[in-house]
Every structure is written in structure tokens, then in C-alpha cells.
Amino acid sequence: MSLSIGKAPRPDTSHENLGDGRALLGDAAWAASQRGTVAPFIVMEVMRAANARAAAGGDVLHLEIGQPSSGAPAKVLAAARAALDGDRIGYTDAFGLPALREAIAQWYRDRHGVSVPPERIAVTTGSSAGFMLAFLAAFEPGDRVALAAPGYPAYRNILKALGLEPVEIPTGPETRFQPTPALLEALDRPVRGLIIASPSNPAGTMMTPAALADLAGWCERNNVRLVSDEIYHGIEFGTVPAQTAAAFSQRAIIINSFSKYFSMTGWRLGWMIVPPELVRASECLAQNLYISAPSLSQHAAIAAFDSVEEVDGHVARYRRSRELLLNELPKAGFTKLAPADGAFYLYADISDLTDDSEAFCRRILGETGVAVTPGLDFDTTRGQHFLRISFAASEAEIAEAARRLVAWRR
């Protein structure tokens, strides 16, 4: 069954001009605002195509989406049931439940040796709301904010929707797909902010603590607000765990989430560490934009920090799937892969196979049933030569996807 969306109704131009000229504009008066004309999130478009294939009776292996195949930890589910039985599940403070904010603060003390006052922690409706609050609180319309390309597409699209100017910094293997002070110094004009992610999406690369400290220091010296996306912390495959930018700068905004490491995507819960000078602005914005994050999710999430053994088991599974793909994908012609230090993605350079990653990914889906994401989602200028493969699915699905890709390329 297909749905068709008709045109918006024409305004009644028989009346006098309403004062802003709209009554005389015809259909143009009802057009989407410029803020709403951002690019689509291509991975969601791929998922829609994959779901359409499945609905038509075809089989699909979902390697396009960054969603753990595991559900929320058992203790989180138990805490949610208890909250349903014993709590009103009403509004909380705009920054979240005090007990959850204290648990997050304790997490930073235990995990990173960093002391963060709970008063500077804001619980948000996923990391997405955190980015909205961060950008609104820290930047003025027209400000230039730098980010690495390839990078998470919602960064640039949210920036554009808010009237900010995303400044994409082309990165590659020589900098491990991460921005550096030298790349920032080479920009033609200064920027007001910088967004980083370590581990990154889509490349999976991580900054060393020294590199992160160096970048944070450069930002402070140059009055550049650092926004550190740390939602893949905990999903790391080397011997050095990811470090938080909060260890190196109180001016940095830290964004994190329960979605990835804790396998709680649909619970829509994240958090921010807010610099002291932005606390009140962020709180007022949160009150007006969101009131509060979902309270059921907040009550449940307190138990997430007691679920490390369970979620580290998921990380072990990602590690095995990563190793399998690193062994098998070269047999399918995917020989140029970014070093996946963390997260659950492999970013493949396919320039020797195609110059149209979208068409290539459509072929893969149509001919193998394996859904992967074209690089254009992450890099608007060079992404036609790349694709991203997620290994967040089950081990059986990853193994079957690898088998199909190898057979398809032979």
C-alpha cells in the first residue's frame, strides 16, 4: 500500500493582505521554511528501502543502521517495571532526576577519574536533543562550526537548521579521519566551534589522550567551543580506553547517550556535561523545548551503570564480528578499510570498485539482501567513493552478510 501526500491548500487570496505579504504569494506562502530544507539522513532512507524489500517478501540483513541487536540490560528492564508499578511517571526537572545525574557523575569519577558536579549534568532526550541544546546555548546564528568529513550527518544538518554554518574539514587516513590543530589552522576563516567524535562515526577511529588534550588546548587558546561526541565510549577494541574531553577542558561540551554502549536506542535518553557558563542557558532552553527527558527511561537508566558486565559482553560480540569482517571483506574486494578502533562500523574506500556509492549500495541490497550505507551520508564531496558497514547486528547475521558479499563479488 502506498500513500500519496497532496499539496497544501492554497491561501484565500480574496481577502486583504494579512500584513506579511503571504496572502498574495499563493502556494509559496505554504512552502517549507529554509530551516526545514536540510538533506535527508541517508541511512534512514536505506533502512526504509530495506524494510520495503522485507515487506515484499525479500530477506534483509541490516548492516546499514547503528543500532545494537541486543536489547536493554536486564537490570534496566527490571527497574523500568518497578518504576511503572511505583512511580507516577510524570515530569522531572528539566535537567533530569537527581539520582540519575549523580549516577552519571559517579560514572565519570570511576571510569575516567574526572570530577563533574551533578549540577553540570543535563539528562536529554537522546544525544540528538543534547546537540540541539549545545548548539543553541553556545552559538549565535551565522557562527561557523567545524566538523570532520566524513562525520555524522546530523551534525551539519542540525547546524544548518539552526542557522549556523557547518565548516567541513576533509580528513583521511593520514590523520586517522580526525581533525587536528594543523587542519584548523589551515582554514581560510576562523570558526567559533568544533565538533569531534572519538570513537567516530563512520570511521570508528579514536584520538589518543595526548591528541585529544592537544586539540582541547588549541580550542581554549583560540576561543573555539569544543563539542565532544562521546556516545560510542565503552565500545573500544584496543588496549587504551577512550578518554573524555572533560578531562582536559571545562569549556568543552560533552555529549553522551545510553543508546550505543548500553543498548538503549529506543529509550531516547542521553546526557550532556555543560560548561559552568552555559548551565542556566541550557536549562532554560531544555525547559522550553523539551520540559524533560522521558521519566520512565530516566528511572530505568540508573540501573544501566550496574550492568557493565552484561554490556561488556555485547562489546565482546562486536569485537568478534569486527574480526570476522576484517578477515572476510578483503575477499569481496573491500581492501581499504579505516582502522576501527571503536564503535561498530567499518568505513570502506571503494574508489577502485565504483564512483557512485549510492548506486553500488542499491545493487548490494537488490542482489544480496545486505543493506549498507553509502558514504555520501557522511561526506558530501568524497562520499561517492566510500560505504559504511555496521557490525552491530548479531554474529550470525554478520557471518551470513560476509558470506553473501564474498559470493557476490566472485
Domain limits, the chain: 42-63+309-409, 74-306
Q: Which one, of 148, 104, 169, lies nearest residue 130 by Cα?
A: 104
Please list the helix, strand and coil fractions of the chain in percent, rounded to the nearest 5, in that order: 45, 15, 40
* pLDDT recorded at residue 27: 75
* pLDDT recorded at residue 15: 43
The residues, any chain, with a CB within 8 Å of residue 327's CB and separated by 6 or more, are none
Tell me whether the CATH fold assigned to 42-63+309-409 matches the one assigned to 74-306.
Answer: no
Distance of CA 368 to CAs 66, 82, 126, 356, 381, Å?
20, 44, 33, 18, 27
Distance, CA of 205 to CA of 343 (rounded, Å): 8
Q: What is the pLDDT of residues 43-80, one digit of tens each?
A: 888 888 888 888 999 899 999 989 999 999 999 999 99
Q: What is the pLDDT of residues 211-229, one digit of tens each?
A: 999 999 999 999 999 999 9
Residue numbers in the chain where pLDDT is lower than 70: 1-26
| Class in CATH terms, 74-306 | alpha beta
Q: Which one, of 273, 271, 241, lies nearest residue 254 by Cα?
A: 273
Q: Which CATH superfamily is domain 42-63+309-409 in?
A: Aspartate Aminotransferase, domain 1 (3.90.1150.10)
Q: Fill in the amino acid letter for 19.
A: G
* pLDDT recorded at residue 88: 87
* pLDDT recorded at residue 14: 43
* pLDDT recorded at residue 29: 77
